[in-house]
Each structure stands twice: as C-alpha cells, then as structure tokens.
Structure 1
Amino acid sequence: MKSLKRMAACSILTALLLGSTTVTAESVIQELYSEELTARTWEGIPIKHMDQHWAKRLFQWGISSNIINGYTNTNLKPDQVITEAEFLKMFYRAVGLAIPNASANSAYRPSENWTEGLYRTAKLYNHPTIGANNFALRMKPITKLRVAEIISGSQGVHYTGQYAVTYLIGQGLANSKATSPQQFDGESTLTRAEALQWIRQLALHGKLTIEQRPKIPTDLGLLPEMANTPPEVIPDFSTEPVTDEDFNLVIQGNNSELRFGDSKKSIDAQFGNSSGKSIFDDDMYPLFNAHFNQNGELDGWKTYLYEEDSIRPGVSRLTKKGIVLGESTITDVISRYGSSGVRGNGIIDYHYKKMNDGTYQDISIYDRISNMEDVCMIAFLVDDKTQVVYDIIVKSSLKDAF
C-alpha cells in the first residue's frame, strides 16, 4: 500500500490533472511530454456563472476531486437547496466510493434511476435516510440534522438527533460555530455550496473517511463534553507566507541542509555519492532523492519514510516550517502552510510564484497558470488512518513535476 502511495507521490501533479474530467487536462499532459515544448499554460478548472460567488474555489475543488458536477446546462446552482439524494451522491464521491449509475446520463444500468446505487450504498453502511423506500422523499431537501446523522455514522458511531449533533460539535466536524444542538438549528436545510463546504471541513480535519454505522446505538457516555466557546472552523482555503528557505530540506542529527541551487558536487560531498537514478531521473541518496537541472544544480527533492528508518535513531527530516517526516500531522501542515493545499485522499500540495521583489505569491492550481515553469510546488502525503506525513516533495516548477 505504502509503496503504491510513494509512486503516486512522484507524479502528484500528473495525478491531479488526470483526476480532472476535462479534455484540457489530458491535452496538457500529452503536450508536456514533447521535448520541443519549454513552457505550457494550465487552464485550471474553469467554471461558469460563479465568478463573484463566495464558493467558487470550493466548487473548483469539488469538480477536480470528482465530488460534484453541474446540471446539463453547466450551471452548478450553488445556492439551490440540496436534496437527500444529491447529498448522498456528493458525500459518497468525496470519500472515494464508486457509485454505479450515480449520474442521470450513465451508461450503467440505463433503465435504473441514478439514485438507486446511492441508496444501496446507504443501506450497506447503515446510514439513515428517508428516501430508501420512497422515491419522492429522495428529492426532498435534506435537513442539517439528517446530514449530521449521516456524517457521524460515517465515523463509525451510531447517534441520532441531538446526540449526533453533539458528537460532531465535540469533534469539530459540524461546520458550525454552535456550542449546542439548539444553536445548530438541525431542522434547517442547506444549499449545495454549504454542503460542499461541510465536506471540505471533513477533508481539512482528515476525516473524509467512511465506516459502517453500528447496528446498536453507541453509548451516550462516550459523547464529548460541550465547550463553552465556539469550536474553530478552519478557513476553506487559507494561506501562509513562504520564503526561499521553505524550499530546503533540513536534516537534524547530522546538522545538514539540502538547499535549492546547491551543486551536485557539494551534495555528494555532504551525503556521499548517489546510489543511482530513480525511474523519475532523480539521484538517490540514503535520506532523500534529488533532481538536478542541466547546470547540475538542485531544483527538486523528495523524502519519504523507508522501512529502514527505524535503524537511524536521532535523524529527522523536516522543512524549515517544522513539518517533521513521520511525526507531523495534517493539522500541523495546515497550521504552518494554510488550508489551501488540502486536496483530500491524503494529498496536500501548495503552489507559489516568485515575484520580482523576491516574495512568493500563493497560486491556485484551480485557476489559469500562464507559465507552469514560473510556479513551484511543496507537497505532502499523509497516511489515511494516522494522518501523519510520510512523504514530502518539493519542485522548482510544475512542468518539472511531470
């Protein structure tokens, strides 16, 4: 499992582009493999009718992650109240489930309504719905209380009503400033944008997972205590400033540092000669892989947990912002780099453009990038269960990330 994730880390941007359903992504990938091309424009995730909407970036994220799609007229209808069936579709896609026929124009079982696979899945996971045996109720607006019951159930507990809300508030997963079920207003409905934002919060907490809800209600004594202060809601796409040093790798234990622009000769002097080339043309050293440009200068590196790391006591690998390989969690990454890079499914990646004054500007991968060679990347992979960082990747340009 881990070896597969490590290979994915080496081509993290390619995975992002292939994950997009747009023809643009596929054509960009094909063109980048041409040696005659030195720079390429990435068109991002363009969406219509939402240029001034507060949830534009949320929908770009949702589309790129295959969580949500528009209607036949390409209108995403962010302010439309979401139905139970629509929420199930959004939620199950977000946690990575393949839902047969969950599209009105699907070729799978064309005679079957698109909602059937969703409700079979809900039954499999014992998630509470009102539309399981009544098709008309599937198209009724879902309440926040029912969403709370489904989400809490996906975390492997069985609570209903105010207890489901109490659980989510205590876990920081309610996407609300409420400190009690009464403040939560569970009988109200929510829009498609608000539902997507709630799912985004699950991703930011590393809780975009799914488990079967137990048949027997969970002991109420296990509910978290309610705090008097409102729980913190993580901003959907926050950023933190970076400097040149943030693209370096610090190795504690031997007092060394891997710096962008260092020559291969100087790196060999510090760490010994590389053991050879990886399939991605990286030079392999005991604690990291390094990529050098045509001038022999370091322009990219990656480091990940090896099985033999347990026999290297006292040696830690970390970024300048203090993200320690094998120790820091998704929460640590967000606190130091911001929430903008959280993609879900264990991938966190940040993109920056160096300005003329030497500062770095955060760049959204969802927007158009006129020259990918101008944008650098810092990426982390976290373990699905522990949410601990096991892979760090830094590239001087998105084009080189291929």
Structure 2
Amino acid sequence: MNLKLLRLFLLVFFLPLFQSADAQCEYTLEMFDSDGDGWNGASLTISVGTTVYTFSLNGIFDDGIDSTLTFPVNTGQQITMSWAPGFFDDEVSFVIYDYEGNVVYEDAFPNSGPLFSGIAFCPSCLKPANVKIENVYDTYAKLRWSPGNTAPALGWWVIYGPKDFVLSSGVGDSVYVTTPKVTLQGLAKKTFYDFYVLEQCDSTDISIGNGPYTFETYFSNDVGISNVLTPESGCDLGVETVTVVMSNFGSNPQSLIPFRFSVNGVDAGVPQPQDGFYTGVLGKDSSDVIEFETFYDFSEPGEYLIKVYTQMNGDEDFSNDTFYYYIVNRLVTPYAQDFETWSGGWYPDTSGNASSWEFGTPDGLVITEAASGKNAWVTNLDGDYNDAELSYLNSPCFDFSDLTEDPVLEFSINYDTELE
C-alpha cells in the first residue's frame, strides 16, 4: 500500500456584487522533487478556462529540485488539474496557492488522472507590483513600486517594522502616500527592517500587503579594507608593493583616512601622512584601489601574514576595518600545514578538466570531515566530484636546494573513486 499525503481545499467563494467578472490575478505553483533529479517524465496539467498549462521539473529549465512558477486566472474561471505519471512519482510533491497566498491544493505522490476542480477568484483590489528598495542610508530608505490595478488608486500604505514582525500584529509604523514611492525616515542605524505595501483602491477597499521585503540600514561613518591585491604568493618574491582595496561601508562620503599595514605582527613603518593617508573621496557603496609607497622585503622563504587596517576617527564599526592576507614565498623544510588558518597557498591547477577542488569544511556523504581540525582541500566539499573530471591540486613553491637527502612527503588522504 502506498502511503501518500493528499489535502484538498474546496474553493468556496462569496463574490461581492461589485466584483468584476474578469478580474485577473496570478496563482502560484511550487514544485518539488525529493531526489533532485526532476519529475522523470511526469507532468501536471492545469486548465484555466480554455487555456491549458503543462508543468514539470526536468533539470533543464530548472535545477531538478524545486521551481516556483505563476499562471494567470480570471475570477469565475473553471480550474482543473490532472496528473500524467512518470518514473519515481513517489519523489514528487507540489503546492498551488491563490493570489492571497492561501493553499488551493497540495499533493505528494499524486495519482494518475484528474486531481482537482474549482473556481478561480481574484480580489477586487490587487496589491502593488514591482516593489523595489531604491536606496538605503543610515536613518532613511527610499522605496518605490507600481500600481497593482488599472484603475487609479486613492493611495498606498507602507507598513514597516523590525525584521520578521507580523503584519496583523499591530507592531510597526505606517506611512500613507498618494504617489507610488516613499522615503522612510527616522530609522535606527545598522538595523534590519521589514516592510509591506498595500494599495488603497477606494474608500472601502484595500489590497493585501505585498511583502515582506527586507533591508538593513547603514552606519553613517564606516570604512575599512576589503581586500589585498598584491603581492601574490610566488617562488621568488623580493621587495614588493602592497596594494589594497579600501571600501566605504557607511552612508556618508569619506576622505582623509589614515591606513597602514604590518607583516607577521611587525608594523611596516608607514610614514603618515606622507604615505598611508587617503585624500580622495569615497562615496557610499564605493571602493578604491590604493598602493602603499612603503615597500616590504618578502625575499625570505616562508609564510607571511599581511594585516592592513584603517584608522578613521569616528568610525562606528571596527569589525570591518582590518583585512588579513596570507602569502608564501618558496617554502623550505621542515614544513607542515593543517589548513586550519588558511588554504596554505595551495591552489587548483587551471589545466585538466571539470575541476571540483574546494577549500573549506567537508560536509559530503563520503568525505564527512577533515583529517584534523575542520578544514581540508576536497573535490566538492558537500558532494561528489564532477563527471569526467581530470584535475590537479598544486602546492606552493618549495626550495630543496639545501637538502643533502631526497625529501620525504607525508600527508593524509581520503578518497573513493569509480573503477572506470
């Protein structure tokens, strides 16, 4: 006996006398496959009036795991659904929602043939469309949207509050506008907010809320180093230039920013303000590439930890001021690397085919953990290696010129490969 889940929601609609017979809206279909390989030839047919739609998961136009689609309906139209089976229907499930997000029908391991029949319904006042977060600052945010109805609206309500607040709970603040845009003011810095937009069609009819949409406000003053570009690991490093990326994470433009670097915990001696003093202007959401004029000698073999940081007065967030960057210059024995601090300067070779090498914490079915600690180099951290893969993992440069005996390499390896 096949166990199956089947819930049928009868559509009982009370149509107001003023409801337009051809009011149009969209229903939503969510499709799932528990094995992630699509519906294996099965399909769901949905007829809306005289229009027929056929839906499936095939791994070509979707990922084979899930997909969400919409289809138009008019109030009063007959909706029917039927199932054409394929292989492995026990992996299949789907849910259909009406315009207001109510479940119309859901099924898992569906039976072949007719599944459902009902009447479509669209509310007389549709919610706004194309809601966009236009720009966010420290204490205010700009939003806009498109009217949801063809008839002119009286206005729109924007209800906003702390992230995850419930629209019907009475929590949150509201703003009423007569044009499809708003600037929310008086917001707290570096705070997540949710908001909904409702359309006021007439004095008695208002739409459901379109949302929630989420944004996070900025700090006013917040800069930091977001990357180090040079030097790169190599076999013959010498006196090199340190090149960095400075970013403005806050809402206010910034200038006259001190910044400096250290190597392996030793300050590099940047002579501010002649060097390490940014005199350009960083606007909101902008970055700039900067070279230190102070050079550093990386010629000695080994690993180097470069620490670059800003020192701006009034910075409201110190957590993003500093960037740490590792490089190696031709390694010598004795050498050990457990990959807990960083990738070790190892890297996937660009030759070969379909490389799946990744650095991080393994979470696959075969390789479930690192040999020691948390990190390792793995072909696909959370799955299988690729079909027809021929790939290589390169080590950093080693200098064995001072050895009197052949070097011995010792390492941990975990593998499970196909025979052919």
TM value normalised by structure 1 = 0.20
Q: Which has the higher contact order (CA 8 A, sep 6+)?
A: 1
Q: Over alpha carbons, which structure has the higher Rg?
A: 2
